[in-house]
Structure 1
Amino acid sequence: MTELTAAPAGGDTELGDDLTPWQRVRRNLTANQLAMAGGVLLLLFLAAALIGWWGTSGEKPYFDASAVRLPDKLKRPLAAPNSMAVPPEARPRLGIYLFGTDELGRDVFARMLEGATVSLSVGFV
């Protein structure tokens, strides 16, 4: 006759039951594609905010009321700053305005990245 044996009191008898909590978290996250997509988006947002913080740190919006001429201030995207109108300390670090400038001559890309940094800090608080 066949004897029945009871399962151990520990519960599951699957292999890999000796995983650490971090290994379980990693296994569960890699199995969930939606969580992975959200993690990738979060990392991209974090990278953009950190790059913006590094790339625009110390950059102040350049505004000189006596030198404002609207055609000189509005720049299309990927335009280089006019070296005569913009002092060297107010020029973008990349040498071009990626998203152009607003009506006051401020770099739209730098302002967007600064906003991402603020949004990220509010999200963590």
Structure 2
Amino acid sequence: MRRFYSYLIYKLYTWALNGSGYNTPIFNVIVTLACVHSFQLIFLMFIAFKCLPANTHLSGWLNYVAILAILFLISHYYVFYNKERWEGYVKEFENETPKQSLKGKIYVLSYLIGSTIGVIWLMYFMSVYLFK
């Protein structure tokens, strides 16, 4: 799993480096990962709130969720930002073949799209069909 995340960071980082008009590739990677992880966290919270009985919910839980979300997003900076590691990601995967690069691009895009659109679809499906 660590190798996949290293590869994910490598791909996002190199895409941001090659993109035009962006001079903050590390920030772009951190924001992208924070968004993906936020969707996953929202999905887990959705399941928890749907499975718990209504009377067990805390009144004013949105305040707690908002504070946790802000802390969650800030923690991404401290978890993923390490200047020494970023060039190491590029060096680790710089010798990949075009075939490996295409395969990796498909995996990374599948993860990113699946973690956003897939989670939204699952929440809709569960709310319509499972939690009536």
Normalised to the residue count of structure 2, the TM-score between the two structures is 0.26
Higher helix share: 2
Which of 1 and 2 has higher RCO (CA within 8 Å, sep 6+)? 2
Larger radius of gyration: 1
Normalised to the residue count of structure 1, the TM-score between the two structures is 0.27
